Amino acid sequence: MPSSQTGADEIDADADPDTAARQARTRLRSRQLLAAAARVMERDGTESVSMQALADEAGVSVGLIYRYFGGKDEILLAVIVDVLDAFAVRVPDAIATADPDPVARFAAAFGAYCAVIAEHRHAALLSYRESKNLAEQGRRRIQQLEVATSEPLRDLLREGIEAGLFHQVDVDLVAYDALLMAHGWALKHWYFERTLRFEDYVARQTSLLLLALLLPRHRRKYARFLEHTQP
């Protein structure tokens, strides 16, 4: 479910080999630029992503960027989408790899969300900042992806509820809370990095989530997830 890139490569299925080559190059450039954007953000923060800084980091000229993106907004949109794509890849992956148990899969999914955010700490916060600036179209796109992206979590919650493991919670809200807790690492990173390692953060948040979700009678069984509750 990857590759939701942002319009730079929307030219569909064209057998012309020349066009194919162009598409390949386009895709390459796009990735190169998005990677550069991510690097700049991670290094200097979200505010310092000027077109010049981006060009420098990518090793291309400013002008070239406009061949692959319609403008700055489009790039930021693409960066946001990139993170959402990462969710779309990594979370299902983590679920598939994990223990088949619903709780374990839920924990794995949440961990994957957290991991992606930790890897794109600044990019992950971009959507909070840019929503207003983005064109209506881009905003809707993001919102759709966000919903789609959190679908696995909702699925697992429903599954857990149906299996009689979880309380009958508001699945939408809990899924959102889980994402919020994952974003929490990025939002207050300056605070947590001094008090908690990333692994501990994830473990404790997982504990709290499951504490809220699990019916009491299953707690013993999942004690391994719950034991990180205390500081």
Partner DNA sequence: TATGAATGAGCCTTCATTCAT
Partner DNA sequence: AATGAATGAAGGCTCATTCAT
Nearer to DNA, 61 or 144 (CB): 61
DSSP state letters, 30-73: HHHHHHHHHHHHHHH-GGG--HHHHHHHHTS-HHHHHHH-SSHH
Least distance in angstroms from the C-beta of 8 to DNA: 11
- Cβ at position 71, least distance to DNA in Å: 3
**Residues lying near its own copies in the complex (CB under 8 A):** 44-48, 125, 128-129, 131-133, 143, 167-174, 176-177, 180-181, 184, 187-188, 190-191, 195-196, 201, 204-205, 208-209, 211-213, 216, 229-231
- Cα separation, 74 vs 68, whole angstroms: 10
Closer residue to DNA (CB): 77 or 94: 77
Measured CA to CA in angstroms, residue 67 lies from 10, 138, 157 at distances of 14, 19, 43
Amino acid residing at 115: A
Looking at residue 193, its amino acid is E
- With CB under 5 to 8 Å by kind, the binding choice for 29 among DNA, its own copies, none is DNA
For the chain, give percent helix, strand, coil, nearest 5: 75, 0, 25
Task: Please identify, using beta-carbon distances, which residue of 88 and 161 lies nearer to its own copies.
Answer: 161
User: Which residues have CB under 8 Å from 75's CB, separation 6+?
Assistant: 33, 34, 37, 54, 65, 69
Amino acid at 30: S
Q: Is 27 exposed, middle or buried (0-12, 13-18, 19+ CB in 10 A)?
A: middle
CB of 12 to DNA, least distance (A): 17
Residue 61 in the binding site for DNA (CB under 7 A) = yes
Nearer to DNA, 25 or 140 (CB): 25
Picked from DNA, its own copies, none, the partner binding residue 137 (CB below 5 to 8 A depending on kind) is: none
| Partners of 166 in beta bridges | 214
Q: Which of residues 29-58 bind DNA (CB under 7 A)?
A: 29, 48-53
Residue 66: which of its own copies, DNA, none does it interact with, CB under 5 to 8 A by kind?
A: DNA
Site residues, DNA (CB under 7 A): 18, 22, 25, 29, 48-53, 60-64, 66-67, 71-73
